[in-house]
Structure 1
Amino acid sequence: MNLWPNPQHRALRWAPWRSLLVLLTALALLLPGCATNPVTGRSQLMLVSESSAIAASRQAYAEMLSPARKEGRIDSDPQTKRRVQGITERVVAQAVRYRPETADWDWEMSVIDEPDTINAFAMAGGKMAIYTGIIQQLELTDDELAQIIGHEIAHALSSHSAEKMSVALASNLALVTYAATGERSGLALTGAGLAALIAVQLPNSRQMEAEADRIGIELAARAGFRPEAAASLWGKMASKAATRQPVFLSTHPAPESRQRDLSILASQMQPLYEQARRGPIPTHPVR
């Protein structure tokens, strides 16, 4: 005897079991999804491998830059591009010393001509961008600019993109965001590409920021840039935040103690800076 002759009834009967199956599958994914980061030594949720995050970020990066590229706003000022490129190549060389396997990454830094935007970001695999607004409005010195670039490179080295993608996927954030907004900012991204985009837009945790601060200031010091510039950079950022919230702070939240902590780190990194200034400073190719 068929107790569920109506297909709709069969669907209702299956619904709770389907939810349970989804939950069990998620738990099965989560249990083996932790890894120890080779740079920080911290245990991270890693449902997304770094190689997968790099592939997804490559797609998302191209899509993100596409509108500005069509409008001629990518690397449009040769002088600014040369300045950013030169600093980036010095800091990336130190990143490769930190993690030699990253020499195979397709490192890329784009300067986006957007004077009103105070922002910079890095994605998995060394895909980075900086907006002209953060350079111009904060009147950055080369040492301060190196701190921003070092901080972003540190996020990439520490697999923070893969970690945030994993968190987003585990919490169905990509699906929730899409359902809530009904759009994807005009980008034709789905699946892992969308998760990579959302990972860039998600705020970093305080732990991620502390890791990027420590690693970034060391990379910049080893590349021959003054470590005390990290504190002066965040002083400028705090001053700008008093009148207008920079986009950068939406993804890089700053605790009140940040300048003090960076000043302490700067004194610790001073010998590395002095050593770097005594010899030739290496570079690594960056597109």
Structure 2
Amino acid sequence: MKRVVACILAAALLSGCKTSPTGRTQIMMFPEHKMNELGAASFDQIKTEQPVEANTRTNQYVRCIADALIAQLPNKYAQQNWEVVVFKDDSANAFALPGGKIGVHTGLLKVAKNQHQLAAVMGHEVGHVIAQHGNERMTQSSFLQAGLQVSNAVLEMNDVQYRNAIMQGLGVGAQVGVALPFGRAHESEADIIGLELMAKAGFKPQGSVELWQNMEKLGGDRPMEFLSTHPSPDNRIEKLNGKMAEANSLFRAAQQKGLKPQCKV
């Protein structure tokens, strides 16, 4: 047990602290090149499992938005050769992976009604990548698993009754008390990064709010926010509106620079 605890502490010290684009302290234990490899491998697998949209205009539309956003990324990301793929999938979803990978589902194009709304989603997903949220989540998962193993060992050594029930409770507690709030923090941070990114690229920031209003109209059953990795649409809209004045300033500056995307499907 002592060796396990020592390993956890050593890993935490070796991984060190970093700072996210919004100034949040992060702990990450995986090298960036490894995350890029994992992202590329995952993307290749997705391409073998999901059909790819062949429509030229649709692909050009999505690529146009992606290029405008990528141009505003920090240099090490802007200089990557980003691969952008549109997948035939009815779900209103998109994703980005380390290593310069962006996927957009055709179902999202029915909810994101224009370039500004789609830029909000794509900017959000790219925000996850440049904030290295995947690395953080993998690190957190490793620490949680190690911590639960230590707890289990302590209970075994002390012959604690109802050990299985206690361990199940610890697992749920870790999920609700650590993992889910951690996930919501990432989603909120990606919203803000995406808002700034789309504004700098010349997309109207209000499109982000309109997008979540559209998502809200989709309805459907959602778990209460306390038990969800994603903030509710109302919560997201409130936080986005709180940053809208700054985003509009960035948008006006982009317009003055001549950044006026004309992406049309």
Question: TM class by shorter-chain length?
Answer: 0.7 to 0.9
Q: How does 1:49-128 map to 2 (within 5 A)?
A: 49-68=31-50, 73-95=51-73, 99-115=74-90, 117-128=91-102
Letter in structure 2 aligned against 1:44? Q
- How does the TM-score come out when normalised to structure 2? 0.76
Q: Paired residues, what number?
A: 225
Does the 8 Å CA contact 2:94/2:102 hold for their aligned counterparts? yes
Letter in structure 2 aligned against 1:92? I
Q: What is the aligned partner in structure 2 of residue 149 from structure 1?
A: 122
Counterpart secondary structure, 1:205 = helix
Identity across aligned pairs (percent)?
Answer: 28
Q: How does 1:1-287 map to 2 (within 5 A)?
A: 19-37=1-19, 39-68=21-50, 73-95=51-73, 99-115=74-90, 117-136=91-110, 138-172=111-145, 205-240=183-218, 242-243=219-220, 252-254=230-232, 256-281=234-259
Q: What is the aligned partner in structure 1 of residue 159 from structure 2?
A: none
Q: Structure 2 stretches of 5 or more lacking a match?
A: 150-178
- How does the TM-score come out when normalised to structure 1? 0.70
Q: Structure 1 stretches of 5 or more lacking a match?
A: 1-18, 177-201
**Within 2, Cα distance between the matches of 1:277 and 1:39?**
23
Instruction: Indicate the RMSD between aligned Cα atoms, in angstroms.
Output: 2.6
Letter in structure 1 aligned against 2:29? L
Q: CA deviation at 1:140?
A: 2.0
Letter in structure 1 aligned against 2:105? Y
Q: CA deviation at 1:214?
A: 1.4
CA offsets per residue over residues 176-218 of structure 1, 9 Å max, x none? 9xxxxxxxxxxxxxxxxxxxxxxxxx97622212221111111
Runs of 4+ in 1 over 6 A off after TM superposition: none
**Within 2, Cα distance between the matches of 1:94 and 1:252?**
26
Does the 8 Å CA contact 2:202/2:260 hold for their aligned counterparts? no
Does the 8 Å CA contact 1:124/1:162 hold for their aligned counterparts? no
Letter in structure 1 aligned against 2:184? R
**Within 2, Cα distance between the matches of 1:235 and 1:50?**
35
